[in-house]
Chain A
Amino acid sequence: MSICPDGPVKIGPYAFHSRLFVGTGKYMSDAIMQEAITASGTELVTVALRRVDLSQPKKPSLLEALPSSVKILPNTAGCHTVQDALLVADIARAAGIGDLIKLEMIGDNEWLWPDPILTLEATKRLVQKGFAVMVYTSPDPVLAKHLEDEGAAAVMPLGSPIGSGQGIVNTEVIGRIKERVTRVPIVVDAGIGAAADAAMAMELGADAVLINTAIALAQDPVAMAQAMKWAVMAGRQGFLAGRMTKQWRASASSPAQGQVRAHVPS
């Protein structure tokens, strides 16, 4: 079997061999989540920070349900101000999780669309505080470049709204972002609904994908986690292998000479 050689994707000081990152929300149970995470082969999982439920203080921590081999990526989900995002990052660091953070600054509650102004500002501030910031952003090549210039560790454009499963609505913009952001990885984050979407993200040149709902809400989340793993690998190899150039006209793949013809009596 011949495969294109491929190194890990590097985010800040960390290197990941699996290019599939997964979320931990919306699962029916911790047991299914655990099995799905293992099946996905991921090395990076996102988590949220919330108040401890004092009616169930002894409930085991989510972290206990996660394989010790995975790196934890706390996210600022639910933050609407730069101040809140900075606080969540500081809390995650205080909890002993380290300095990797997913920045998510929502500007529209119905579409969960990122706020570009606050996202850029919060990125600057978090980088100054020494965080490795993976930035969730609207799919805009100019904004993506600004985020890279401000020191983002990864730029993560959405494919379509969070949890919508619509796939990558604007495929060409992912390629445009990849062409402009050259120093840090591009991760397609949000909107992936099917394995084909994950493969497409990788074929478009994304360095990794982040998937939650498409796995958690699949009819069989564990099987879908594995499908996503394969899709990401297939898409990545497809990208590295170099796609053929699209042609307007058909081009036969059988020889033009020596064709068999029925005998027609004259």
Chain B
Amino acid sequence: MVITINGESSTIEHGMTVSGLLNSLGVTHQAVAVMVEGAIVSREQFGHVTLQPGQSVEIIRFVGGGY
């Protein structure tokens, strides 16, 4: 199925959870935030939220920056 990850179209397995998506992308779970359809997914829910076709996912983390 196709979803949008950080603005780019991407094909993933059906029934994948947020946790599964992070693992398949190789993104470490530490200090990462995820939004699905604009709503923040709490860390405890990563393994429970199943992604649906056409959904938009944002994966965010901390980068260098002062101001």
Chain A residues with a Cβ under 8 A of chain B: 22-27, 33, 46-52, 54, 57-58, 61-64, 72, 74-75, 77, 90-92, 94-97, 104, 112, 136, 162-163, 189-190, 210-213, 216
Contact = CB atoms under 8 A, between A and B. Distances in A.
From B7, B41, B64, name the one whose CB has the most chain A CB atoms within 10 angstroms.
B64
A49 B62 contact: yes
Contacts, number: 116
B67 A50 contact: no
A48 B40 contact: no
26 contacts: A23-B66, A25-B67, A26-B64, A26-B66, A33-B64, A47-B64, A48-B65, A49-B33, A50-B63, A51-B59, A51-B60, A52-B32, A52-B59, A52-B60, A61-B31, A62-B63, A63-B30, A77-B65, A94-B40, A95-B43, A95-B60, A95-B61, A96-B31, A189-B67, A211-B66, A216-B66
Shortest 3 CB-CB contacts between residues of A and residues of B: A23-B66, A212-B66, A48-B65
Contacts of B7: 51
B35 interface: yes
A47 B65 CA distance: 5
Given A48-B64, A72-B62, A190-B67, A94 B25 contact: no
B55 to A, nearest CB: 16
Interface of B: 5-8, 25-28, 30-33, 35, 40-43, 58-67
A147 to B, nearest CB: 17
A194 B3 CA distance: 49
A163 B6 CA distance: 29
Nearest to A54: B6
Contacts of A90: 40
A95 B61 CA distance: 8
Given A47-B62, A62-B63, A62-B64, A91 B35 contact: yes
B64 A54 contact: no
B6 to A, nearest CB: 4
Given A51-B58, A92-B62, A95-B31, 13 more contacts: A23-B66, A46-B65, A49-B60, A49-B61, A52-B32, A52-B59, A58-B27, A62-B63, A75-B66, A91-B35, A104-B67, A190-B67, A210-B66
B66 A27 contact: no
A47 B63 contact: yes
B65 A95 contact: no
A136 B58 CA distance: 27
Nearest to A52: B59
A50 B61 contact: yes
A236 to B, nearest CB: 21
A181 B43 CA distance: 38
Contact of B65 (A61, A75, A136): A75
A213 B62 contact: no
Contacts of B8: 54
A58 to B, nearest CB: 5
Contact of A22 (B26, B60, B66): B66
A211 B67 CA distance: 9
